[in-house]
Amino acid sequence: MQESPSEIIYQLKDVAKTRSSNGYTFGLRVPSLRIHRGEKIALIGESGCGKSTLLDMLAFILQPSDIGSFSFHGDRGSEIDIGLAWRKHKRNRLAALRKAHMGYVMQTGGLLPYLDIYDNINLSRQMLGMKDDGTVELLAKELGLTRHLKKLPDALSTGERQRVAIGRALAHQPAIVIADEPTASVDPFAAEKIMSLFIGMVEERNITVIVASHAWRHIKQLGLRRLAHHTRRSADGRLTETVVSG
């Protein structure tokens, strides 16, 4: 099958980020990365190898130190030059792209403690001014959260809260969901169940998903494409460099 350019959602070439603190320097290099619409991507690696750094660059939260080229296709056919947007300090434009096209699931949910579960799930829609159309109830049902909709987050278990976070990430029907260790704070049995529920839901909706995890175990059977990465440290441990490509 011939590949049409509109099927690519991310295309990065020679993108890098360097972060230093207290005499320690970390560098992430991405010589080449291409992600297609509907792909399910996993970035698996030990703590500190740069997973969040990469995800935050893909979510336009973190500005790369160097950009050879970085293009993003939000809607079919429209190519956006993310490198140019950063160079021109278009933070608002980048934030708007993120809100419209992405859902983000964080390790500890990131729920707002004073909003009930319905409103927490609905938040991504509300920020875009989307009307209630039953999507939140439907997601809650799929996620087994229906009876919790009127509760506050602290009345829920950790696993239930993570399912709320997944609901929020999907509620505005984004093209992409980025999940940074979404099941790291729940027990392995719950983690496996939540991960397969999550991947099933994005698959059904043809959403592109990028998951970071320090453990491959729970994800292996779910058919994700694993990005290759290699980390090396200098002898004195002050310099760490990770190269990711895929």
Ligand X SMILES: Nc1ncnc2c1ncn2[C@@H]1O[C@H](COP(=O)(O)OP(=O)(O)O)[C@@H](O)[C@H]1O
Q: Does 183 bind ligand X (CB under 6 A)?
A: no
Spatial distance between the Cα atoms of 49 and 154, rounded to a whole number of angstroms: 32
Q: Compute CA distances 200 → 52, 84, 107, whole Å.
A: 23, 35, 19
Q: How far is the CB of 230 from Mg ion (least distance, A)?
A: 18
Residue 239 exposed, middle or buried by CB count within 10 Å (0-12, 13-18, 19+): middle
Task: Choose between 51 and 172: whose C-beta lies nearer to Mg ion.
Answer: 51
Query: What is the distance in angstroms between the CA of the first residue and the CA of the last residue of the chain?
Result: 20
User: Which of 49, 97, 194, 202 touches ligand X (CB under 6 A)?
Assistant: 49
Single out the segment in contact with Mg ion by CB under 5 A; choices: 9-17, 50-58, 200-208, 217-225: 50-58
User: Which of 15, 35, 50, 98 touches ligand X (CB under 6 A)?
Assistant: 50
Spatial distance between the Cα atoms of 131 and 133, rounded to a whole number of angstroms: 6
Q: How far is the CB of 45 from ligand X (least distance, A)?
A: 6
Q: Are 27 and 242 in contact (CB under 8 A)?
A: yes
Tell me, residue by residue from 17 to 46, as one string, x for binding to ligand X by CB under 6 A and - for no binding: --x-x----x------------------x-
Q: How far is the CB of 127 from ligand X (least distance, A)?
A: 25
Q: Which residues bind Mg ion (CB under 5 A)?
A: 51-52
